[in-house]
Amino acid sequence: DAKTTQPTSMDCAEGRAANLPCNHSTISGNEYVYWYRQIHSQGPQYIIHGLKNNETNEMASLIITEDRKSSTLILPHATLRDTAVYYCIVRLPGGGADGLTFGKGTHLIIQP
Amino acid sequence: EAGVAQSPRYKIIEKRQSVAFWCNPISGHATLYWYQQILGQGPKLLIQFQNNGVVDDSQLPKDRFSAERLKGVDSTLKIQPAKLEDSAVYLCASSLGKGLTQYFGPGTRLLVL
């Protein structure tokens, strides 16, 4: 079973910041938080990942709470092309079997 | 840099027939994964390869599914015989190594009638 909890769906107006929450209250100290998204009829696309510190790249920002029990993915200026299912995943670094465990994700709909 | 390539993109077969999917990972990626995504659900791992060896196939239905990566590059996933419940998107992903970021291909959409 997935180790994360996400809202089923969210709406956001185009041009506004989209803030997607994720709860991972049972995360262990060396597990990373990964975010992927899946646009309709495409494969999942990597967005960002982090361990403890906040991270930012050209696509998004990741804010992880100090206790690491939750995080928020921020798309700073959402466009219609950001409409997708967003998956929050926790995983261990390195090691042996490391397939990703996907939950149902959050269906983000960007409204014009 | 080219991404993960998969073919075919779509396949329709009748139950009890056989089908094969092909994946070419990103150049230099040692780890390759096959996932199954049923409509309305997130992807589920079927098998993981490290070079040409199997790391994890615990969720692969081995009575009908098989996969190989003989030369440690391309991989094929086969279903024989197919069942109606095998209708899904089959996704291939690759990474430079275990524990590193996985990059996905576009998937093969299978419909079993």
pLDDT (tens digit per residue) in A7-29: 999 999 999 999 999 999 999 88
**What is the mean pLDDT of the segment spanning A23-44?**
93
**Segment 11-40 of chain B within 8 Å of chain A by CB:** 33, 35, 40
pLDDT in tens, B5-16: 999 999 999 999
Band (pLDDT 50/70/90 cuts) for residue B1 is low
Give the pLDDT confidence score for residue A93 in this predicted structure. 73
Instruction: Give the H or E element holding residue A71.
Output: strand A70-75
Q: Is the per-residue pLDDT at A96 higher than 90?
A: no
The predicted pLDDT at position B72 comes to 87
**Beta carbons within 10 angstroms of residue B97's beta carbon:** 13
Q: Tell me which chain B residues have a C-beta less than 8 angstroms from the C-beta of A45.
A: 104
Tell if the CB–CB gap between B42 and A99 is shorter than 8 Å.
no
Cβ atoms < 10 Å from Cβ of A30: 10
Contacts of A58 (CB under 8 A, 6+ apart): none
The mean pLDDT of chain B is: 95
| pLDDT, position A94 | 67
Closest partner residue to B91 among A43, A95, A105, by Cβ?
A: A43
